Structure 1
């Protein structure tokens, strides 16, 4: 999960629907993450740049998790 305007909107919709305080859904998501936070775009940009570069030309069919430890494989 990466903090973006779309994620903020999702938090708004879910908290409005449940009647909870704004930000409570994001707080719960942070608590469930192994690193205790929501990812930032800076957490992802390095990997995206690498995968878009010639340095990754021989990498195929891989799944690389950039999720702060939400999913282990």
Structure 2
């Protein structure tokens, strides 16, 4: 095991080795709480958000830039 500057241990597994990791905080629960807070904040200010997902190099940024260019005269972007 290696130690980094912060108080975290880095564990390297051998090929095929499986680790069972226990977390102190329920990550999915925390993520859901943050998502709820974000939705509330966006709703309060009348902001519509979209999530663009895709593989690396699939054109997400180009799509967003093209959409922003076409829609900037109709919406605050």
Same fold flag (TM > 0.5): no
Which of the two has higher C-alpha Rg? 2
Higher relative contact order (CA 8 A, sep 6+): 1
TM-score computed with the length of structure 1 as normaliser: 0.24
More helix by share: 1
TM-score computed with the length of structure 2 as normaliser: 0.23
More strand by share: 2
